Amino acid sequence: MLTRDDIATALALPVREVPEEFSGTPGITAVTHDSRAVTPGAAFVAVSGFKNDGLRFAPGALDAGAGLVVVEREWPTAADREADPRIAELEAAGPLPVVRVRDARAALGHLAAAVNGNPSRSLRVHGITGTNGKTTTSYVLYNLLAGVLGTDKVGLSTTVEVIVDGVGRPAMRTTPEAPLVQENLRRMVEAGASDAVLETSSHGLELHRVTGVEYASAIFTNLTRDHLDIHGDMETYFQVKRQLFERTSGPRLANVDDTYGRRLAREFPGALTFGFDEAADYRIVEPTDLTLEGMQFTLDTPRHGELRLEPPLVGDYNALNVAGAVAVALESGHDSLAVVEAVKHLGQVPGRFQRIPEAAEHGFMAVVDYAHTEVGLEVVLTVARKIADMAGGRLICVYGAAGERDAAKRPLMGEVVSRIADVGIITTDDPYGEDPATIAEEVMAGADAGDTHITLDRRTALLEAVAMARENDLVIACGKGDEAFQHLPSGDVDHHDPTSIREGLARR
């Protein structure tokens, strides 16, 4: 419960600027930006969204018992009263409990942290950011720490799920809104966790979803073209990602094989690096030995010498993900032998080169992956190509591009798949409000028509790919990973790539 002094401290405001009365409540018991979630005694933060101004919902929040309304501008004005007669009725009962701040989203983060008891002060929170590899690195670090400390001592929040005390719940988005971020961290503290791994997206940083989180370490994986519809250009995108290093009090690990990772290392002199590069502090000694079940490689470390790592993951990009996670675990003071042993028992990452084991019964391999950009496809398909070649089979790729996102990448995706795979099937990803057929044709513009065709219905495309697979082939579905839905123009529908692949296998 937050008092007037607590609120002033959280918002960095003089106490006199915080209303003396909270609509008859003794303090603030919850924080939300969703008026539908307001309960008596809650603070309602009027956030300006992409489509609606949160102040439209302030009268409803007060009707529901909000003890405080946080705004960015003077409210209510004469125009506000004219637009909503309820305001005058509320004012007739007494002064409205309104506090004005410069940035409502930042205020939401600070208040959410405060009302949950600032849980990150009781945890070592490890943040992972970058364009590709965030989720995999998050899972790797979570599993390493859980292997060393015990499952009950580590929490995880990723684009796939939130794990508290070993129990996972589906996640709503990569980085949830601030109230849920802080609630999840509080749940981890209450469960007895000492560490938490938090996948931190550019949206999470830019929109203050992680404001109020105190980070103990940070990993930067890479930066490639993505989300430019939101950030505008690569420099702005980089500056947003850079914020994670600014907010971190402990070890900062940057991928030195990436141009932006090298830049981060220069701009933060105390940062450490990982990668294949000879100058890396944590250097992957080539070559990595790839098998159908995983890989083996040596990691040269600053204080523990050369460590032989055997993760059940494949691909040079996963060697980088493992190296970054191992570096943070070692820099956090954990025993190197325990870390090496934990690497051997890493589980599959949901939706990230996730094998569908039932396909082996039919003599081929089936995989789902989240790769949804031309760079992501290039990385993942290069590994898939190596595996298909080792087995002596073809590579069949089912993929599509999302709608209402950077359209320039669509033909680039088509070019990458045609260059690396033997067969490409363009299908529907998440078109949102766009026409799926138009998106598919834009992807097709970069593909080779000789090895590519369009099947718009995603389930049908996956059934088709499984039906055409021969012995030793590798079928890979890219773009959706382990997600359980699609965002279509007509609304959200249930869809799960692994389930459709298993349906196809059952039909063979």
Known binding-site residue numbers for ATP: 130-136
Q: Taking a C-beta distance cutoff of 8 angstroms, is the pair 125, 182 a contact?
A: no
Residues at the binding site are 35, 130-136, 174-175, 201, 209
Closest CA to 462 of 397, 508, 408: 397
Polymer length of the chain = 508
Return the SS3 of 126.
strand
CA distances from 363 to 4, 195, 464, 469, 470 (A): 67, 42, 17, 9, 7
Residue for token pair 């060393």: 148
Q: What is the dihedral of CA 161, 164, 166, 167, to 10 degrees?
A: -60
Instruction: Enumerate residues 6+ apart whose C-beta is below 8 A from 263.
Output: 238
Rg of the chain taking only CA atoms, in angstroms: 25
Q: Taking a C-beta distance cutoff of 8 angstroms, is the pair 393, 449 a contact?
A: no
Closest CA to 224 of 426, 15, 380, 38: 380
Q: Taking a C-beta distance cutoff of 8 angstroms, is the pair 162, 169 a contact?
A: yes
Instruction: Enumerate residues 6+ apart whose C-beta is below 8 A from 295.
Output: 288, 289, 310, 311, 313, 314, 315, 318, 319
SS3 string, 412-465, reads HHHHHHHHHCCEEEECCCCCCCCCHHHHHHHHHCCCCCCCEEECCCHHHHHHHH
Residue 203: exposure state from Cβ atoms within 10 A (0-12, 13-18, ≥19): middle
Alpha carbon distance 66, 49 (integer Å): 20
Alpha carbon distance 427, 416 (integer Å): 15
